[in-house]
């Protein structure tokens, strides 16, 4: 496993600032926030981005987030995935991270899975044409895909080798995902992991703003990391923390604090 930082952790800052801070903090790879990527590409081309990553000694673990839209018009999202896959291929980034929408009230659950599976397959086909995979992100207490079981149901029905899922410690805790469900995820389907911690609040009351650096909250991080080690997971552990109090600080200071907390947790 190797260290990564997500652009949400330094949300107010530009992609250039994110990369410089990540490199100074000693992260191995980065997740590029899609909105920052779009802003960067308004005045630069993809070749320049690859040069910038190389100059900082970094690789991109994913581009994120994108909408996995299965229950309304998704033509715009499909175009975004196509563009993102082209960029990802050009910078040797293996994964696009997507978050699903939810079916309308009253829709049959089985039909909803089939609808989302067809959408996921279409996303995967477009990404696979560029050698890129799609990772579905379960979200805490999401009405349709709150955990890995639901994501894997979509993946199984879609039947495409370029589909996988991701694990986010905060979201899995908020959804009440047991360690047994984490253990049941086939290792080959686990494309990236978000590592974080959170304040001591009832899961139903937690928001992204309650995330904190690793080891500063109440998540059972040692047990969660133990599951990953047992599974033989060898991918990125990406620090993703949405916290306005952190965002007020300099991006280098944020990144160094995030890496120090990460290192302490991994050493323990």
pLDDT tens digits, residue range 199-210?
999 999 999 999
* 130-183 residue pLDDT tens: 999 999 999 999 999 999 999 999 999 999 999 999 999 999 999 999 999 999
Q: For residue 185, give every residue at least 6 positions away whose Cβ sits within 8 Å of its Cβ, in sequence order, or none.
A: 148, 152, 165, 167, 231
For residue 262 the two structure tokens come to: 């990460």
Please give the Cα distance from 229 to 223 (Å, whole number). Answer: 10
d(CA 173, CA 163): 23
Full 3-state SS string of the chain = CEEEEEHHHHCCCCHHHHHHHHHHHCCCEEEEEHHHHHHHHCCCCHHHHHHHHHHCCCEEEEEEEEEECCCCCCHHHHHHHHHHHHHHHHCCCCEEEEEECCCCCCCCHHHHHHHHHHHHHHHHHHHHCCCCEEEECCCCCCCCCCCHHHHHHHHHHHCCCCEEEEEEHHHHHHCCCCHHHHHCCCHHHEEEEEECEECCCCHHHCCHHHEECCCCCCCCHHHHHHHHHHHCCCCEEEECCCCHHHHCCCHHHHHHHHHHHHHHHHHC
Q: What is the pTM of this model?
A: 0.97
Which CATH number do you get for residue 242? Answer: 3.20.20.150
**Residues of the domain holding 219:** 2-267
According to the model, what pLDDT value does residue 20 have?
98
pLDDT the model gives residue 161? 98
Q: Which two tokens stand for residue 190?
A: 């686990």
Tokens in use for 53? 């990553």
What pLDDT, on a 0 to 100 scale, did the predictor assign at position 93?
A: 98
Residues of the chain with pLDDT under 70: none
Q: Rounded to an integer, what distance in angstroms lies between the CA atom of residue 246 and that of residue 268?
A: 24
- Residues 87 and 208: their CA atoms lie apart, in Å, by 28
Q: How many domains does the chain have?
A: 1
């Amino acid at each position: 496993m190797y260290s990564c930082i997500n652009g949400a952790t330094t949300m107010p800052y530009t992609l250039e600032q994110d990369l410089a801070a990540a490199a100074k903090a000693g992260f191995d790879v980065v997740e590029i926030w899609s909105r920052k990527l779009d802003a960067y590409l308004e005045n630069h081309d993809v070749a320049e981005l690859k040069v910038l990553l190389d100059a900082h000694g970094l690789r991109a673990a994913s581009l994120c987030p994108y909408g996995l839209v299965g229950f309304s018009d998704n033509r715009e999202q499909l175009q975004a995935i196509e563009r993102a896959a082209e960029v990802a291929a050009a910078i040797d980034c293996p994964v696009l991270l997507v978050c699903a929408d939810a079916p309308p009230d009253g829709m049959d659950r089985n039909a909803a899975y089939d609808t989302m599976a067809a959408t996921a397959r279409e996303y995967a086909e477009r990404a696979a044409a560029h050698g890129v995979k799609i990772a579905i992100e379960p979200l805490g207490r999401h009405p349709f895909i709150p955990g890995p079981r639901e994501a894997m149901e979509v993946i199984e029905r879609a039947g495409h080798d370029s589909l996988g899922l991701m694990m986010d410690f905060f979201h899995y805790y908020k959804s009440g995902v047991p360690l047994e469900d984490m253990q049941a995820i086939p290792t080959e389907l686990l494309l990236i992991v978000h590592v974080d911690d959170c304040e001591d609040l009832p899961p139903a009351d937690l928001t992204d703003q309650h995330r904190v650096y690793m080891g500063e909250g109440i998540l059972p991080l040692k047990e969660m990391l133990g599951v990953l080690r047992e599974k033989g997971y060898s991918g990125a552990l990406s620090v993703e923390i949405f916290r306005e109090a952190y965002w007020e600080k300099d991006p280098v200071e944020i990144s160094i604090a995030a890496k120090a907390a990460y290192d302490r947790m991994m050493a323990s």
